[in-house]
Amino acid sequence: MSLENDKKAMRGSKRRTTMHDIARLAEVDVSTVSRALADSPRVTEETKSRILKIVQDTGYVVNHGARMLRQRYSGQVLVMLPSIAFTYFPEVVLGIEDYVQEHGFSVVVGSTRYDREREEALAQQLLTGAADGIIFMTGTIPDLIKTYPSFDRHVVGISRAIPDEQIPQVNIDNYLAMETATRHLLSLGHKSIVHLAGSQSSPTFRARADAYKKTMEDAGLGGHVRIIASEEYSIQAGADRMNELLQDGAKPTAVICAGDDMAIGAMHAARLMGLAIPGDIAFVGFDDQPFSAVMNPSLSTIQIPRREMGMAGARLLLANMDLTKEKPESILLPHKLVVRESCGG
């Protein structure tokens, strides 16, 4: 029977095509088929091409479960984030899922709720083998993880910087992004600009605060620098910090918020105090959430490519877990200032 007839027979058969069948048709060893499907450099491009053509023609489906079992993988990636309530994270997680599912992994999401004990409990999944790797969006790595052999090859950071250069990470240039936002407000004539910041224990939010302060000082406005930090950057936190600011008697002409959620709360609090936006006070956020464009007034913000960040982080983790290759480099994604109604520019 010819090769083409063999392929047709397999397609029409109720029996599942196996890797042994692919090897027989390609006239190679089963191990060569396995390496070709894993895109191993040990297999020539010509052989890979021949094997992949046979796989396509026969309808062979890779059994990821069996592969994970052979390689002692659980097939799961843990995504650890501060809170599932924040609207920033779902788009990032979708990006992670898009990538890892194509490579035979599934995603488990763990919300730490800013609780160290909860972080440690979730981190146990790597030590027990329930998860093959962890994507951190918390900006911290529990000490427990650091007891795991070669732990740095099983974790990556996304969005919130982890203060460890050994950990591959995906982020934007937060310093430059805040400088961009501050310079824009200065260009509109604002001098009294306040920054409602995130936790200053986070390198991400600290970089933004540093950039705001330096940009104000460079403009000769060091005396107007005011940073009001919050451990959370939720809608409620934005409203609370804005109320504190206005009740102190201060009325800045512009506010830069650590996130769009915070900006919503801050803008609501300002309106309740009778302030017009942007007539009395301008606002700029961070993230560019879907709701930012449809608010009234629409929110000017720093756009972060969240889905792309998730996909890049997932790609980085799987590459990092491949101990046959060198550790991948961290990635900086581009940001963009999106100017809308809230800053009057």
* Alpha carbon separation from 232 to 198, 202, 209 (Å, rounded): 6, 11, 15
pLDDT at 41 over 90: no
Residue 249 gets the label, from left (phi > 0), alpha (psi -120 to 50) or beta, of left
- Residue 327, Cβ neighbours under 10 Å: how many? 16
pLDDT at 36 over 90: no
Supply the pLDDT for residue 55. 82
* Phi, psi of 49, rounded to the nearest 5 degrees: -60, -40
**Please, which pLDDT band fits residue 63 given cuts at 50, 70 and 90?**
low
Supply the pLDDT for residue 6. 58
In sequence order, what DSSP letters do the residues of 92-138 get, joined into one string? HHHHHHHHHHHTT-EEEEEE-TT-HHHHHHHHHHHHHTS-SEEEE-S
Question: CB neighbours of 9 closer than 8 A, spacing ≥ 6?
Answer: 1
Q: Are 232 and 201 in contact (CB under 8 A)?
A: no
Supply the pLDDT for residue 34. 72
What is the tens place of the pLDDT at every residue in 64-115?
A: 444 444 445 678 999 999 988 888 999 999 999 999 988 889 999 999 988 9
Is the previous residue joined to 290 through a cis bond, with omega within 30 degrees of 0? no
**Please, which pLDDT band fits residue 210 given cuts at 50, 70 and 90?**
very high
Supply the pLDDT for residue 66. 47
* Angle between helices 3-12 and 19-26 in degrees, nearest 10: 160
As a 3-state breakdown, the chain gives helix, strand, coil percent values, each rounded to 5, of 50, 15, 35
For tokens 């998730």, name the residue: 310
pTM, whole model, 2 decimals? 0.77
Q: Are 241 and 196 in contact (CB under 8 A)?
A: yes
What is the tens place of the pLDDT at every residue in 1-10?
A: 455 555 555 5
pLDDT at 333 over 90: yes
Please name each of the domains of the chain with its CATH number. 3-62 (1.10.260.40), 76-171+306-334 (3.40.50.2300), 174-304+337-343 (3.40.50.2300)
Q: CA–CA separation, 134 vs 126, rounded Å?
A: 7
Q: Are 11 and 25 in contact (CB under 8 A)?
A: no
In sequence order, what DSSP letters do the residues of 169-220 get, joined into one string? EEEE-HHHHHHHHHHHHHHTT---EEEEE--TTSHHHHHHHHHHHHHHHHTT
Q: CA–CA separation, 4 vs 25, rounded Å?
A: 9
Residues 217-224 have a mean pLDDT of: 97
Residues 35-52 have a mean pLDDT of: 80
pLDDT at 19 over 90: no
Supply the pLDDT for residue 53. 86
Residues written for the chain: 345
Supply the pLDDT for residue 64. 47
pLDDT at 118 over 70: yes
